């Protein structure tokens, strides 16, 4: 389990986060990665992480889940 930390500006979008994680996991551009809050909702790609943190964070933390499975086809 790797727990390296990175700084991210509050204005970074979900799409920006997805691109970062895809690079980190060495996924191809055409592979899909989705991010979820509460394991029940995928914020839109242009949503800012700062807003998500304010709405859904608690105890100074916001937990997001990611999923690499193809979502259509």
Partner 1 sequence: MRDGAGRRPERREEEEEEEKEEKERRKRKRRRSARADLQFSLQVSCSMAGGEEFFLDEKRFKQCCEDFVKHSQQIGDGWEWRTSKDLGDGYLSKTHFQVRNRHIPPDLKEKNSDNTEQMLFAHIEEPLDDSQAAGVCSTEEVVRYEYHVLYSSSYQVPVLYFRACFLDGRPLTLDEVWGSVHASYQDRLQEGPWDTITQQEHPILGQPFFVLHPCRTNEFISAVLGGSQERHRHTNYIILWLSTVGPVVGLNLPLSYAKLAPEQSTDADLAE
User: Interface with partner 1 by CB under 8 A: which residues?
Assistant: 1-10, 15, 17-19, 21, 24-25, 29-32, 34, 36-47, 49-53, 55-56, 65, 67-73
Question: How many CB atoms within 10 Å of residue 3?
Answer: 4
Closest contact distance (angstroms) between CB of 39 and partner 1 is 7
Least separation in angstroms between CB 48 and partner 1: 10
Minimum distance of partner 1 from residue 22's CB (angstroms): 10
Q: Which two tokens stand for residue 21?
A: 């994680």
As a three-state string, the secondary structure of 41-52 is ECCCCCCEHHHH
Q: Which is nearer to partner 1, 41 or 59 (CB)?
A: 41
Torsion of CA 11, 13, 19, 23, to 10 degrees: 40
């Amino acid at each position: 389990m790797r727990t390296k930390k990175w700084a991210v500006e509050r204005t970074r979008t979900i799409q920006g986060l997805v691109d970062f994680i895809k690079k980190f996991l060495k996924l191809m551009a055409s592979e899909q990665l989705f991010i979820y809050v509460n394991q029940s909702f995928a914020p839109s790609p242009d949503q800012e992480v700062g807003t998500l943190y304010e709405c859904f964070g608690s105890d100074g933390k916001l937990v997001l889940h990611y999923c690499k499975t193809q979502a259509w086809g």
